[in-house]
Amino acid sequence: MVAQTFSGSIREAHAAARAEVNEISDWDAWIDGRGYSSDEQLETTDPVVGEPITTIPRCDARDVDRAVDAAWEAYETQWAETTPRDRSKLLFEWTEKLRDHVDELALLECVDTGKPRSQARGEVEGAIDTIEYYASICRAEDGRQITTGDDLHLYTRKEPYGVVGQILPWNFPIWAAAWKLGPALAAGNAAVLKPSADCPLTAIRIAELSEGVFPDGVLNIATGTGSEVGAAITDHEDVRKLSFTGSVSVGTNVMKAAADNVTPVTLELGGKSPFLVFPDADLGRAVNAVADGIFYSTGEICDAFSRALVHEEIRDEFVDRFVDAAESYVLGDPLDEETTMGPLTSEAQYETVTDYIELGKEESATLLTGGDPPENEELRDGWFIEPTVFGDVENDMRIAQEEIFGPVQTINTFSDYDEAIKLANDTQFGLAAGVATERTSIAHNAAADLNAGLVYVNEYGPILPEAPYGGFKASGIGKDLGTEVLEHYQRTKSVYVNLSEPTL
């Protein structure tokens, strides 16, 4: 049975935490450098106890118009005139303010998403590091000169789009905000960003902490639903670039809407990532990597290692060790430092995950551990589910093909290298994959043969801003992170200068 924390006062602790949250801000949207309210409100919910945290504005298309207008005003009157050196300085100034509020931001992320506090703090620090990375590299921006004949000077210059629209997922609110805002602002754009209605607090707060750093209107946060705010951003003719992270179905709609205005898009749409465990693997490292890759953040991870493909010779030992690892997680109050797994972020996601667990049983997969709510009655009001492991899984089962987005691991086997690669690639997704082996040749061959945008060898993570992040196939288009993402937020212009002698 999974270990659980018994604080005896979870409800009281979260009431106090929610009160602290509401002392930090009024939790308005952020448009044109100030808090922005609306006539209608949305309620956000504490996933640990199912109680309201606060309310946020339910913006609509008219509010998005105001945000886009403010962004263009800031861009055309001030931001477009900044140099990479200017933007670098301001981004560093912003990160200094964010770093002064790490504990506050970690609390917000913890209460808003249900992440254990240690994970929330690590993600806050990762977000700041991401913004610092773009503050550093944007000063290296340059065009290039193209060698031609003596009578022609040909060069390129990089220019921002102007105003970009960005839509965040609910699973990594502050990190995802940094992934999008860092490069977009570094590249010289103004931004209109929509956080998830489920977890908007850290995005709002980091925007508030930009006050006095960026010109008013450079960074705007429009809170609300995807059907209202998200659709208004994707349909807006004055939004010149879109970046979306979320589900395949919504991403498809974003792409269709963008096509009407010929707006370029970057899409990161999730995955069903395999982890291949070869017979020579260090099983201790392999088990830890797979467990980290499916149980971190309660499995609500786009690149989660949700499919373990294990060589048949070591299947039994791997399963025994992996079940032990799953059962070692401490399920409990994320405010408690001993907790290693919190709740799912929303009731809707809880229902999705529990439905998939029942589906796995119906598909005749073997439930090896988990699958139930916690025994601790204090946790029954939240959206908790035990770490869950299915064995005897066939690759055509829905639990092996569809993204569950929760702490549900499937295990099936392979007999040789070719079968492992075939099984791994037999999915619509192509975000990430993992390999456990002590042989360099297998690691590099598998990295080449796996149809995925990133490959981990003998570990899960880390995700660093220096490397591009994004998938193949239905997992998306374009990249977040790395230097490549700056190119997605800029246009390249070629300039031909005639140097021939004028005719008199």
Q: Are 130 and 178 in contact (CB under 8 A)?
A: yes
Sign of CA dihedral 480, 485, 488, 490: positive
**Which residues make Cβ contacts (< 8 Å) with residue 134, sequence separation at least 6?**
91, 182, 183, 185, 186, 465, 486
- Compute the distance between CA of residue 207 and CA of residue 62 in angstroms, rounded to an integer: 20
Backbone dihedral region of 405: left (phi > 0), alpha (psi from -120 to 50 degrees) or beta?
left
Here the tokens at position 457 are 């060898």
- Compute the distance between CA of residue 142 and CA of residue 85 in angstroms, rounded to an integer: 12
CA–CA distances in Å: residue 180 to residues 166, 231, 259, 483: 7, 18, 21, 13
- Compute the distance between CA of residue 221 and CA of residue 428 in angstroms, rounded to an integer: 33
**Residue 284: exposure state from Cβ atoms within 10 A (0-12, 13-18, ≥19):** exposed
Q: Is 302 noted as a catalytic residue in this protein?
A: yes
The catalytically annotated residue of 302, 378, 386, 403 is 302
- Compute the distance between CA of residue 177 and CA of residue 165 in angstroms, rounded to an integer: 12
**Residue 443: exposure state from Cβ atoms within 10 A (0-12, 13-18, ≥19):** middle
Give DSSP secondary structure letters for 216-277: TTSEEE--S-IIIIIHHHHH-TT--EEEEES-HHHHHHHHHHHHHTT--EEEE-----EEEE
Q: Are 44 and 56 in contact (CB under 8 A)?
A: yes
The catalytically annotated residue of 109, 123, 228, 268 is 268
Q: Is 268 noted as a catalytic residue in this protein?
A: yes
- Compute the distance between CA of residue 218 and CA of residue 155 in angstroms, rounded to an integer: 29
Residue 501 is predicted with a pLDDT of: 75
Ranges in the chain, pLDDT < 50? 1-3, 5-7
Residue 358 — φ and ψ, nearest 5°? -65, -40
**Residue corresponding to tokens 């000169």:** 145
- Compute the distance between CA of residue 399 and CA of residue 410 in angstroms, rounded to an integer: 7
Q: Are 470 and 452 in contact (CB under 8 A)?
A: no
**Residue 19: exposure state from Cβ atoms within 10 A (0-12, 13-18, ≥19):** exposed
